[in-house]
Amino acid sequence: MGAAEQLPPPGPAPEGALLAEAATRLAVLWVPDWPIAAAVAEGLIGAHQSVVLHDGRGVTAVSAKARAAGVRRGMRRRTAQGLCPDLVLLPADEARDVRAFEPLVQGVEEVVPQVQVMRPGVIAVGARGPSRYLGSEEAVAEALVGAVAQASGSEAQVGIADGLLAALLAARTSTVVPPGRSARFLAPRDVRDLIYITTTRQSRAAYTDLVDLLRRLGLSTLADLATMRTAHVLPRFGELGVQAQRLARGLDAYPPQTHRPEPDITTHAELDPPAQRIDTAAFAARRLAEELQSRMVRRGVVCARLRVSARAENGSELTRTWRIDGALTATELTDRVRWQLEGWLSGRSGQPPSAALTHLELAAEEISPAAAVQDGLWGRVGRGQIQAGRAVLRVQGLIGAEGVLAPVLEGGRSPRDRVRLVTWGDELRPLRDPEAPWPGQIPRPLPATVPAEPVPARLVDAQGDPVRVGRRGELEGDPALVEVRRATRTASSGTVPTAGTIRAAGTVRGAGAARGTGTTATAHPITGWAGPWPVHERWWSGTEPRTYLQVVTEGGALLLAGEGGRWWVEGVYD
């Protein structure tokens, strides 16, 4: 795309706008639909296809062709597929976005210094210095657009304005806002545009709640918020409301400091032996990120910038700065560092270091006091939890990050759908709301044990005939005997299917078959049963209805699932 366009003469400024305080002059580079462009760069899709990315809850990114068909962010996948039948679905991957974005950032660094990455697809740089040696702000915009086109072939837009929010919104229209005019530029905008300022999950959730509250109170534009008296904003909306008002007035989120700023907080580690693998470097990065976050929490501060520095065996060094708003969790810190290291170690950027890393350093810059970032009196992590976490990190360093998993409770109908295993240290966030209504879900109590893989079973009546599920979900026969098949190495043929034997059967069944041990079936008389509960999910994909049945034997109770004449053990009740 071409250079940024000059803003037309603005209208009157909102009453009460603070024009005496000068905001930072920023240039923001924005690559539209960057997650889609990253998937194209990785060779996963073609640029001509209709593509959406999803995170399990809804659509997070939409290609231009899919957008033309009516697909929008936030839609459910089924709705999007109904609007665009040839739609290609890809899972969202923030690590992929950062990997593909690294060459572009390095290309921009050849034009302007001190690049700050807000998120993949968005870069912020100071505009005053580059405009002096390039001649004008329009020349800065042209140089940035050209650097992106040369580095990745992607189209980019640049906006220049006073204050970060104005620069972000100006980038979406390729606009240069004259100095001192950001308040007028922002005045007619919807308060929902405050969401663009967020870079962390926590800040996005906080701003979303604030925007909803403002709109319910009738404050629908940024001018409505900007013209309020600050003395009225603070008691009603807190510190976040004051920050939002400053942004709406075209100022920085925090006023300029008149005293000596807080010193930076730095953590570093020497990697011996040098880290040649992503998981090894990520293990060290996680320890540093947790230490950095812990030190910031103890001091009650937050940082506006996170600097990641690495040194390789060949002596080359790379530094990347991430712009941060609000408090970062240790997981978010670790994610940013891991994504950055992956881009460097994989050598995708075409620049060193593609060699092993010997030194890693994290620095929290532009420190400022945090309103509510403190260790809680009752929520403080105990010493035992800290020691257990360190032990888990050591195990991950030995067997890899994917070797240690943690459960996350989610919404769903079957017990298997209501628990998801994630890598230890990642965010324990459900993809499906566990509190939402799930019609047809298995009634409580739920099984205490769910095997890693369903264990095959056979259900027969008193005459020995198989019990089948009819077309309407009813049982064709009364269950009298259940046969549970499992690997012969897990239990003898005469034992009752307890939680331990079922769990072992589910996890080693494939391995046992590889050793030639085979399987064995154990029969257990049924003393009582309840159900069935038919569940018909994803009918549009041709999936057969599934029926759940609770059976009680002398050794315990089982939850069986069946389709037609096939049955398997879905859970064990203690």
What's the pLDDT tens digit per position in 24-40?
888 999 988 888 888 88
What's the pLDDT tens digit per position in 454-513?
888 888 887 878 888 777 767 777 788 888 876 544 333 333 344 444 433 333 333 333
Contact 239, 210 (CB under 8 A): no
Lowest mean per-residue pLDDT among 152-166, 296-310, 532-546: 532-546
Choose among 45, 20, 25: nearest CA to 35: 45
Choose among 452, 434, 431, 439: nearest CA to 571: 452
Contact 147, 111 (CB under 8 A): yes
Q: Is the pLDDT of residue 415 over 70?
A: yes
Supply the mean pLDDT for the chain: 75
Question: CA-CA distance, 187 to 96, in Å (whole number)?
Answer: 36
E strand segments, 94-169:
116-119, 122-126, 157-162
Question: CA-CA distance, 484 to 235, in Å (whole number)?
Answer: 64
What's the pLDDT tens digit per position in 73-132?
888 888 888 888 888 888 888 878 887 888 888 888 888 888 888 888 898 888 888 888
Q: Which ranges of 217-369 does DSSP label H, i.e. alpha helix?
A: 222-226, 230-248, 278-299, 330-345
Question: CA-CA distance, 475 to 487, in Å (whole number)?
Answer: 28
Contact 553, 525 (CB under 8 A): yes
What's the pLDDT tens digit per position in 439-455?
777 777 778 788 877 88
Q: Which ranges of 400-521 does DSSP label H, i.e. alpha helix?
A: 499-514
State whether residue 15 is helix, strand or coil: coil
> Phi, psi at residue 216, to the nearest 5°?
-65, -30
Mean pLDDT of 546-572: 81
Mean pLDDT of 149-177: 88
> Phi, psi at residue 380, to the nearest 5°?
-70, 140
Question: What's the pLDDT at 48?
Answer: 82
pLDDT range class, residue 18, cuts 50, 70, 90: very low
Q: Compute CA distances 161 → 15, 23, 82, 423, whole Å.
A: 20, 9, 41, 41
Choose among 333, 313, 84: nearest CA to 199: 333
No. of helices (H) and no. of strands (E), the chain: 15, 23
What angle do the packed helices 34-41 and 94-109 form, to 10 degrees? 90
Q: What percent of the chain has a predicted confidence (pLDDT) above 70?
A: 76
Please, what's the b/e burial string for 403-416 (b: 16 or more CB within 10 A of its CB; e: otherwise)? eeeeebebbbbbbb
The burial class, CB within 10 Å (0-12 / 13-18 / 19+), for 305 is middle
- Residue linked to tokens 């290291």: 341
Name the strand (E) or helix (H) holding 96. Answer: helix 94-109
Strand pairing class (122-126; 468-469): unpaired
State whether residue 80 is helix, strand or coil: helix
pLDDT range class, residue 1, cuts 50, 70, 90: very low
Choose among 562, 569, 453: nearest CA to 510: 453
